[in-house]
Amino acid sequence: MQGFGGIHRMIKNIYCVGRNYLQHAKELNNAVPTSPFLFVKPTHALVEGQGQTIAMPKDQGNVHYEAELVVHVGKNYEPGMKAEAVIDKIAVGIDFTLREVQDELKKKGLPWLLAKGFPNSAVLSRWLPFEGLEGTAGHDFTLEKNGQEVQRGNIKEMIFDIPTIIEFCAQHFGLAEGDIIFTGTPAGVGVAAAGDHFVLKWKEEQVGELFIGE
């Protein structure tokens, strides 16, 4: 990844869209949102999947993987800007989640940060060229676990499309160069266990990988 060693300086805000694929909302028995539903992760959560082994939290219940298309904001947003003018590159990512912790937080009506913001919970592949919305919609992103495909998604399947997400982020939180957005996960999320090998793919080509530590 270009300059990934300085990622905590390069990337400012990490926005994440929840429940943005209908089948994923259904598989977790969540209500389908009527407007974009966002949460954030700290930059300490970021890690590039370069084939290394990463640590996951211990004794906090199951960690689930959630593969997502990630967009990088290359220019400060101004009202009316098209996605092609805002986004300069994309990646395939994994939003790792402490599922039981998240379930308890939901019951109490509390923010999800403890379930979503731990170190290594925001995985990115190498950066890839952004080919515009139409070009991006022409390809799927996939996640393989131990040699088996477990998730496949396409931005055409999103409940809220990328222009809607960009405008929502800008209006409510601000959106500027260096921000990234995890745009939501398709169906197929599951448990990430010690020793698991994950491969991120774009256009059926491997663009990132990692192992889960013991």
Instruction: Give the model confidence (pLDDT) of 166-200 as tens digits.
Output: 999 999 999 999 999 999 999 999 999 999 999 99
Q: Which residues pair with 153 in a beta bridge?
A: 141
Separation CA 93–CA 169 (nearest Å)? 19
CATH class as words, domain 4-212? alpha beta
Using one digit for the tens of pLDDT, what is the confidence trace for 66-112? 999 999 999 999 999 999 999 999 999 999 999 999 999 999 999 99
Quote the radius of gyration of the chain (alpha carbons, Å).
Answer: 16
> DSSP code of 21?
B
The residue ranking higher by pLDDT, 214 or 142, is 142
Domain definitions of the chain by residue range: 4-212
pLDDT reading at 209 higher than 50: yes
**Widest Cα–Cα separation across the chain:** 48
Q: What's residue 125's pLDDT?
A: 97
Amino acid at 96: F
Q: What's residue 9's pLDDT?
A: 60
Q: How confident is the model at residue 24 (pLDDT cuts 50, 70, 90)?
A: low
Q: How many CB atoms lie within 10 A of CB 174?
A: 12
> DSSP code of 30?
P
> DSSP code of 121?
-
Separation CA 22–CA 32 (nearest Å)? 7
| Positions of E strands within 4-120 | 14-18, 37-41, 46-48, 50-54, 63-65, 67-73, 87-95, 97-98
pLDDT reading at 3 higher than 80: no
Q: Which SS3 state, helix, strand or coil, does residue 16 take?
A: strand
Q: Are 132 and 161 in contact (CB under 8 A)?
A: no
Torsion sign over Cα 120, 125, 127, 131: negative
Per 3-state DSSP, the chain is made up of helix, strand and coil in percentages (nearest 5) of 25, 35, 40
What distance lies between CA 90 and its chain's CA centroid?
11
* Residue from 49, 51, 73 nearest 122 by CA: 49
pLDDT reading at 4 higher than 50: no
Percent of the chain at pLDDT > 90 equals 87
